[in-house]
Amino acid sequence: MSTKSREVLITVEAVPAYQYPRQTIERKGVPISLGSAYGYMPREHSIRLHVPCTFKHETQRVVVGVSSTVNRPDTNSTPPQAKPVEGDDKVATFTAAVAREITRDWLKCPNADKLPEGPVKIH
């Protein structure tokens, strides 16, 4: 999706029956969460949110990824993910809305209605 000078890329991966240990996933960047969903924000300030979607196995997850030109990191900061950049809050809010829409309305994931309202929390 693109408007004028802003671009947004949304990815959705539904991978059945893989293990997604919270500690392993969150070590990949800045930890994030949305209720029982968790993930990380890597160097480029995109968001990778692992949302429970347990049809057959309790480890099933839908990975919702959002990246945007709204929040490009300062390449001079060391390390880039150490401090928030302008626009992270907008991407966090958008990612939460996408995660709720995908898991509730498209995939009909069990318990998707338990994802809280509001943005993804950046820890």
Question: Is residue 25 helix, strand or coil?
Answer: helix
**Summary mean pLDDT of the chain:** 83
Cis peptide before 79 (omega within 30 of 0): yes
Label residue 103 by pLDDT band (50, 70, 90). very high
pTM score over 0.85 = no
Q: How far is CA 23 from CA 26, 28, 39, 47, 76, in A?
A: 5, 9, 9, 16, 28
Q: Where are the domains of the chain?
A: 2-122
End-to-end CA distance of the chain: 27
Instruction: Identify the CA nearest to 114 among candidates 53, 57, 23, 30.
Output: 53
Residue-wise pLDDT tens digits, 5-20: 678 889 998 776 667 7
